[in-house]
Structure 1
Amino acid sequence: MEFRILGPVGLWADNDDEVPLNGMKQRTLLAAFMLAHGQAISDHQIGELLWGTDPPETFQAQIYTYASRLRRRLSDAIQIVRKGPSYTMRMPTARFDYEEFCTLSAQGSAALHQNRYDEAGEMLRSALDLWRGPALADVTEQLAERERPALDQARLAALENRIEADLATSRHEEVTAELVSLVKRHPLRERFRAQLMLAHYHADRQADAFAVFHEGRQCLEEELGVNPGPALRYTYKAILTGDADRRSDQSVGRPGR
Structure 2
Amino acid sequence: MWFGILGETWARHDDGTEVPLGGPARRALLALLLIGPGGVVPAEQLAEEIEPAGAVSAHALQSQVSRLRTALGPAAPIERVGAGYRIAVPQEAVDAARFEALAAEGRAALTAGDPARAAAELRRALELWRGPALAGLADRSESARAAAARLEEARLAALEDRIEAELLLGEHRSAVPELRELTDRHPLRERPAGLSWTTASTSSKRRPR
Q: TM-score, normalised by structure 1?
A: 0.73
Once the two structures are superposed, the pairs formed by residues 220-239 of structure 1 within 5 Å of their partners are none
Residues 170, 119 of structure 1: alpha-carbon distance in 2 compared, 3 angstrom cutoff = same
Shift of the alpha carbon at 1:95? 1.7
Q: Which runs of 4+ in 1 moved over 4 A?
A: 51-54
Partner of residue 64, structure 1 = 62
> Which of residues 71, 74, 83 in structure 1 aligns to 2:81?
83
2:200 pairs with 1:195:
no
Q: Which has the higher contact order (CA 8 A, sep 6+)?
A: 2
Partner of residue 115, structure 1 = 113
> What SS class does the counterpart of residue 16 from structure 1 fall into?
coil
Partner of residue 126, structure 1 = 124
Task: Spell out, residue by residue over 1:174-208, the C-alpha distance to the aligned partner (whole angstroms, 9 max, x if none).
Answer: 211111111111010010111122222333389xx
Task: Spell out, residue by residue over 1:102-135, the C-alpha distance to the aligned partner (whole angstroms, 9 max, x if none).
Answer: 1111111111110011001100010000001111
> What SS class does the counterpart of residue 47 from structure 1 fall into?
helix
> Which of residues 71, 74, 93 in structure 2 aligns to 1:73?
71
Partner of residue 9, structure 1 = 9
> What SS class does the counterpart of residue 204 from structure 1 fall into?
helix
| Contact 2:103-2:122 within 8 A present in 1 as well | yes
Task: Spell out, residue by residue over 1:8-28, the C-alpha distance to the aligned partner (whole angstroms, 9 max, x if none).
Answer: 111111111111222222111
> What SS class does the counterpart of residue 14 from structure 1 fall into?
coil
CA distance in 2, matches of 1:80, 1:109: 34
| Contact 1:28-1:139 within 8 A present in 2 as well | yes
AA in 2 matched with 1:87:
Y
Q: After the TM superposition, which of the residue ranges 31-40 and 102-111 deviates more from structure 2?
A: 31-40
AA in 2 matched with 1:80:
I
| Contact 2:37-2:91 within 8 A present in 1 as well | no
CA distance in 1, matches of 2:192, 2:91: 37
Report the count of equivalent residues: 204
| Contact 1:173-1:203 within 8 A present in 2 as well | no
Residues 157, 111 of structure 1: alpha-carbon distance in 2 compared, 3 angstrom cutoff = same
CA distance in 1, matches of 2:111, 2:150: 23
Shift of the alpha carbon at 1:85? 2.4
Q: TM-score, normalised by structure 2?
A: 0.89
Partner of residue 160, structure 2 = 160
CA distance in 2, matches of 1:111, 1:187: 27
| Contact 2:32-2:144 within 8 A present in 1 as well | no
Residues 93, 144 of structure 1: alpha-carbon distance in 2 compared, 3 angstrom cutoff = closer
Q: After the TM superposition, which of the residue ranges 138-147 and 62-71 deviates more from structure 2?
A: 138-147
Sequence identity of aligned pairs in percent? Answer: 37
CA RMSD of aligned residues (A): 2.1
Partner of residue 244, structure 1 = none
Residues 18, 205 of structure 1: alpha-carbon distance in 2 compared, 3 angstrom cutoff = farther
Residues 54, 15 of structure 1: alpha-carbon distance in 2 compared, 3 angstrom cutoff = closer
Partner of residue 34, structure 1 = 34
| Contact 2:25-2:50 within 8 A present in 1 as well | yes
Shift of the alpha carbon at 1:171? 1.8
Shift of the alpha carbon at 1:94? 6.8
AA in 1 matched with 2:117:
E
CA distance in 2, matches of 1:61, 1:20: 22
Partner of residue 136, structure 1 = 134
> What SS class does the counterpart of residue 8 from structure 1 fall into?
coil
CA distance in 1, matches of 2:186, 2:53: 32
